[in-house]
Amino acid sequence: MIIKVEAIVREEKLEDVKEALSKIEVNGITVSQVMGAGMQKGLTELVRGQEIDIPLLPKIKFEIVVSSEEWEQKTIQAIQEAAFTGEVGDGKIFSYDLRSVQRIRTQETGYDALN
């Protein structure tokens, strides 16, 4: 079974999450800067005396592909612990099954393509 784990976290948690994943030897990651809003619907800031609505907030998106449910749980736990602040806006973690994986260079598929 091949599983993709995606996590959307606060920008300031980038290094903490990378370090946590490295500690459990999850090295194949993709990181993107993204914008989004959850339940808080963005935020309102005071800029030069005027309230400005910021509907989307900057976040970091991690994409990790793992080879088993055991690694899925280890990965999710590491991200959860590293990204947690207890405040609104900590983010979300998603996981789902992948139908296929292929390494472009060697044309290996499935588990072989991950290693």
Q: What is the distance between the terminal CA atoms of the chain, rounded to a whole angstrom?
A: 14
- 3-114 CATH fold: Alpha-Beta Plaits (3.30.70)
pLDDT in tens, the chain (115 residues): 899 999 999 999 999 999 999 999 998 999 999 998 877 666 666 777 777 777 788 999 999 999 999 999 999 999 999 999 999 889 999 999 999 999 999 999 998 998 8
DSSP 91: E
Residue 96 has a pLDDT of: 96
Residue 60 has a pLDDT of: 98
Residue 1 has a pLDDT of: 86
Residue 36 has a pLDDT of: 86
Residue 49 has a pLDDT of: 79
86-108 in b/e form (b: 16+ CB < 10 A) is eeebbbebebeeeeebeeeeeee
Residue 10 has a pLDDT of: 96
Q: Which of 32, 13, 2, 24 is nearest to 76 (CA)?
A: 24
Threshold 0.85, pTM exceeds: yes
